[in-house]
Each structure stands twice: as structure tokens, then as C-alpha cells.
Amino acid sequence: MSNQAHVKSHTRPFMGSKLQPRQGIPAGLIAGGGMMILWLLGAQVWGPGAVAFLQSIGDVIASDTSSLWLNVAGIFLHMLVSIGLGVLFAASLDRLDAKDTLVVATFYGFTIWVVSVIILRHWIQVEAIWASRSWWGLLSYLFFGFLLGVYANHFGLAPLGNDGD
């Protein structure tokens, strides 16, 4: 057996999805919940405060309402986006080994961060962009991706063997 048989190649064929798209819903909920906890903790310690930050996100869909409804709207919007991103992740993730899945998933979180702070910045509340551009905002996006990878490794299909099993 040659040494090249053990070298991973980027030209290998698609082995099938690791997760079913419907599995993206709980994956997104779990990752979104973890991200929200880290993000709100950062907002409380280094930012404008967790409640003010959550209300600024809720103001996107429920402006001119009470602070309680702004908090609920902020959580609802965040979790709705998290579910959508979880479904997209689940539908596109190849069957990879555990380490590669975590790397790809964490990079997915980084990609979401780049898209949100550079491309979507004109449509998102100023406070949300400010918090996303912080180091703890970036860390929360990376954590979101990492949690998606953890979910995929725990509930997803294993990679196929080299012999096509």
C-alpha cells in the first residue's frame, strides 16, 4: 500500500450529508442558545448590558413596544435566524471525521460573522453590529459554529470508509 493512500485529498467525491436538513432545526436551536448566552454575557461585561443589547435586536421586529416584548422579540429573531443557519449547515455538511467537522463548523461560524458585519451591516441594528465587531462577538459566532459541529458529530452519520463502505 502506498503512502499516498493515507493522504487526504480535496478531490475525493462527495460522500453524502452528515446530517439531514431537518436535523438543522435542533442543531440551530442548541447552537443559537449557546451563542446567545456567550453574546449576552459579553454584552453585560464589556458592552451596553445584556438587556439593552437584547432589546436593540428585538427592536428590529417589534419597535414601539414594552421592554418585555422587545426581549421576547430579540430572542425569537435570534433563534429564528439560528434555525435557518442550522438547516443550511445540516443540508451542506459532508460526512467528515470528527476533527474535520469541528474545523468546518467553526469556519462556518466565522463566515457568518463576516457576512453579518460586512455585508448585512446596513440592515441590522447599530448596537448589534457594534457587538458583533467586538472580540467577544466574534467569539460567540465561532462558538455557534463549534456547537453545530459538536451536534453534527454526536447525531450525524459517520464518514464512509476509504473502500467505499
Residue 91: per-residue pLDDT: 93
Q: Is residue 3 part of a domain?
A: no
Cβ atoms of 89 and 111 closer than 8 Å: no
For residue 163, pLDDT beyond 60: no
Q: Is residue 35 part of a domain?
A: yes
Residues 119 and 71: their CA atoms lie apart, in Å, by 25
Among 4-8, 119-123, 138-142, where is mean pLDDT lowest?
A: 4-8
Q: Is residue 145 part of a domain?
A: yes
For residue 108, pLDDT beyond 50: yes
Q: Which residues contact 137 (CB under 8 A, 6 or more apart)?
A: 39, 42, 113, 117, 131
Q: Is residue 7 part of a domain?
A: no
The 10s digit of each residue's pLDDT in 9-54 is 556 666 778 999 999 999 999 999 999 999 889 888 887 777 777 7
Q: Which domain range does residue 35 map to?
A: 19-155
Q: Looking at the 3D structure of the chain, how many domains does it have?
A: 1
- Averaged pLDDT for residues 43-69: 74
Alpha helices in the chain (DSSP H): 24-46, 50-58, 67-92, 98-114, 126-132, 135-155
Residue 43: per-residue pLDDT: 82
pLDDT band at 7 (very low <50, low <70, confident <90, very high): low
